[in-house]
Amino acid sequence: MSDQNNINREEEIKKLEKISVEKVKERWRFVIFYRFMFLFVTLGGWEVLGRTGTIDPFFFSMPSSIAYQLYIWIIKGTSQGPLWLQVLVTLEETVLGFLIGAVMGIICGIALGRNKMLADIFSIYIKIANAIPRIVLGSIFIIALGLGMASKVALAVVMVFFVVFGNAFQGVREADTNLIANARVLGASDRQVTFKVVLPSALSWILASLHISFGFALVGAVVGEFLGSKQGIGLLIATAQGAFNAAGVFAAMIVLAVVALLADYLITRLENRLLKWRPTVQ
């Protein structure tokens, strides 16, 4: 009798579950639909406004011209060589700058964070350096390092370094003193405390900074190219600007966005792997 009841109850719950799963799916379809609608209306509106002359396509371009420009770049290449080569050059500068800046930032952040005296002496300068718009250094780097890759990498490094440094430093300062005490009693040497306790505690701070700083590295590389170079997406933008080619500027922007999104995806994957011990936030 009560077994029968239990079975009925289970079936009821299963039914409820089916309904709720269906509802979740329904909601998701709704979201996707309106996302496409939004895109369609925005781009369509832009196109219509451009074609009717309400906004001047010479200055603001139109989705169709941008798409055409991209098509031309992909099929026939740009005035400065194939598109993939431009992407590759910019990407190389970005990644190099990002890696160098991030590693330097992590090392310096931890070294300073672990040493109270150094921290007290330098923290004020770090704040100042962070407040300066460092992108202006691009001009100095072009003068000093020339039009080649070095000046762009240098600018990307400067952009990345301070962000990662600041976060690594903060992460180290906030490492739980209780955990450090526990590690020391359990037998950890100073080295082990740094690498097995402080570094993992700071890791979520550091990874968070990597997210933003890849974008900064990209900005550094592109602005560097923009200021003076022989190749890269930044030059593509500069050239398009010189030729009053608004579609070219927008098209280059799209290429950059794709690169940035891909990088962000990869960093998120890395983060999830390294921080799998964290409670999942939903």
Partner 1 sequence: MNSNFLIELENVDRRFTSPEGKIIQVLDNFSMTVKPGEFCAVVGPTGCGKSTTLSLISGLAKANAGKVLIEGKEFEGIDSRVGYVFQTDAVFPWKNVLDNVAVGPLFRGVDKKEAIEKSLDWIKRVGLQGFEHHYPHQLSGGMRKRVALAQTFINSPDILLMDEPFSSLDVQTKLLMQQELLQLWSKHKAAVVFVTHDIEEATILADKVYVLSKRPTKVKKIYNVDIERPRIVTETRYTKKFIEISKSIWNDLSEEVNI
Work out how close the CB of 195 gets to partner 1 at its nearest, in angstroms, rounded to a whole number: 11
Nearer to partner 1, 5 or 178 (CB): 178
What are the strands, taking DSSP E only, across the chain?
A: none
Work out how close the CB of 190 gets to partner 1 at its nearest, in angstroms, rounded to a whole number: 10
The stretch near partner 1 (CB under 8 A) out of 71-79, 179-187, 215-223, 247-255 is 179-187
Rule CB under 8 A: say whether 179 interacts with partner 1. Answer: yes
Cα–Cα distance, 7 to 93 (Å, whole number): 64
Cα–Cα distance, 102 to 95 (Å, whole number): 10
Q: Which of 273, 269, 263, 150 is nearest to 214 (CA)?
A: 263
Rule CB under 8 A: say whether 6 interacts with partner 1. Answer: no
- Which distant-in-sequence residues (6+ apart) come within 8 Å of 233 by Cβ? 86, 87, 89, 90, 222, 225, 252, 255, 256
Cβ neighbours, 10 Å, residue 162: 24
Q: Which residue has the tokens 């964290």?
A: 278
In the list 2, 5, 54, 178, the residue contacting partner 1 (rule: CB under 8 A) is 178
Nearer to partner 1, 62 or 203 (CB): 203
* Binding to partner 1, residues 21-40 (CB under 8 A): none
The stretch near partner 1 (CB under 8 A) out of 32-40, 76-84, 207-215, 273-281 is 273-281
The answer to whether the beta carbons of residues 71 and 243 sit under 8 Å apart is: no
Q: List the x/- string, 186-205, binding to partner 1 by CB under 8 A.
A: xxxx--x---xx--xx-x--
In the list 1, 277, 281, 282, the residue contacting partner 1 (rule: CB under 8 A) is 277
CA distances 143 to 39, 138, 139, Å, are: 43, 9, 6
Cα–Cα distance, 122 to 119 (Å, whole number): 5
User: Token pair for residue 181?
Assistant: 């005490």
Work out how close the CB of 71 gets to partner 1 at its nearest, in angstroms, rounded to a whole number: 48
Work out how close the CB of 176 gets to partner 1 at its nearest, in angstroms, rounded to a whole number: 8
Work out how close the CB of 197 gets to partner 1 at its nearest, in angstroms, rounded to a whole number: 7
Work out how close the CB of 179 gets to partner 1 at its nearest, in angstroms, rounded to a whole number: 6
State the number of binding residues for partner 1 (CB under 8 A).
Answer: 22
Three-state secondary-structure class, residue 81: strand
Cβ neighbours, 10 Å, residue 254: 13
Nearer to partner 1, 11 or 120 (CB): 120
Which residues are near partner 1 by CB under 8 A?
176, 178-179, 181-189, 192, 196-197, 200-201, 203, 275, 277-279
